[in-house]
Amino acid sequence: MTQIPAVSVMVPVYNVEPYIERCAHSLFGQTLGNVEYIFVNDCTQDNSMKILSKVLDHYPNRKPRVKIIDHKTNKGLASARNTALDAASGEYLIYVDSDDWAEKNMIERMVSVAENEGADLVLADYYVDYKNRKTAYVSLADTIKENPNYKELFFSGKIRLFTWNKMISKRLYDNYAIRFIEGINMWEDVATIPRLAFFAQRIAYLPEAFVHYVQYNPGSYTASCSADSIKQMQGAIETLEVFWKEQGCDPQCKAGLDELKLHTKVSWFVNTRGKARNELMHKYPEVNSLRNKVQPFYRRCLAELVRRHQYRLANCLVFVMKQSKKVIFR
């Protein structure tokens, strides 16, 4: 009888030739044996799949548990995530982006915490890898200590809504029919993770970092802030607003959603210029009186300046922070 995988690790693949080898080695080399791997080829235009195949040859014991699914057309990140989700058979699910990589004990540690605490969602700290710079450790401990209400934290984005530093029970996806919104490939995680967290019976925080979030891939979705990506960000927020209303207008979720809108306006201010910026600054006027108390100090300052329409001062702050290269603006 085939053993049910403890975890399904799901990896969308698209034009990541410089990164896929390191990613695959870090996943196949995990210390936990009972793992299923699902790679979704979203019509990559480079040699990513060939490199993946060569890496897999070094791990013959993993091959029986590896699924490679080819899209016939390029469908985007959200669709690739759904394809993997529909093929997964693990009790828990972890997404890893194919330009990132993970410490080898990631899965074993997260499964251990889930089992010991009876959690259906485990979130962990993470690393940020900068080009030609030291790796930064990002801890969630202070954020959670300031506000231990997970509903508000997840809806606000104060806990960054990446898929890859979270292990989530497949039951949450299936029982509540939650899937990624196809067509929303920028912030597809923002539109999805809070909905899963809303239904989680138990959320556990693991104060250890495993995933290395690569910040020097110019082709990644998060490196873009085009008109289309802005539209998708708005779509993610609209998805959460509809969900919030469907679930009875939970006040904690509403507080978090307002924080997310303010955070979004700050990101738009940083990444746009001219007429586009002026139009975006008039979005979500209901949050103009909101004061963010949990985000890092520079973000609180920037949010306050944007809220007050002090754009010249805000520009100066953005310039200083970008020069220091210490900020992830997403």
User: What residue spans define the domains of the chain?
Assistant: 7-222, 250-324
Is 318 strand, coil or helix? helix
Tens digit of pLDDT for each residue in 51-87?
Answer: 999 999 999 999 999 999 999 999 999 999 999 999 9
Low-confidence ranges of the chain (pLDDT < 70): 1-2, 217-225, 290-315, 317-330
The residue written with tokens 């995680």 in the block is 189
Fold of 7-222: Spore Coat Polysaccharide Biosynthesis Protein SpsA; Chain A (3.90.550)
pLDDT tens digits, 152-185: 888 887 888 999 999 999 999 999 999 999 999 9
Q: Are 56 and 132 in contact (CB under 8 A)?
A: no
Let me know: does 198 contact 151? Beta carbons within 8 Å: yes
Strands (E), the chain: 7-13, 35-41, 66-70, 92-95, 101-102, 121-129, 136-138, 166-169, 203-214
Write down the pTM of the prediction. 0.86
User: To the nearest 10°, the Cα dihedral for 288, 292, 298, 302?
Assistant: 0
Q: Give me the half-sphere count of Cα atoms (radius 13 Å) on the Cβ side of residue 22.
A: 14
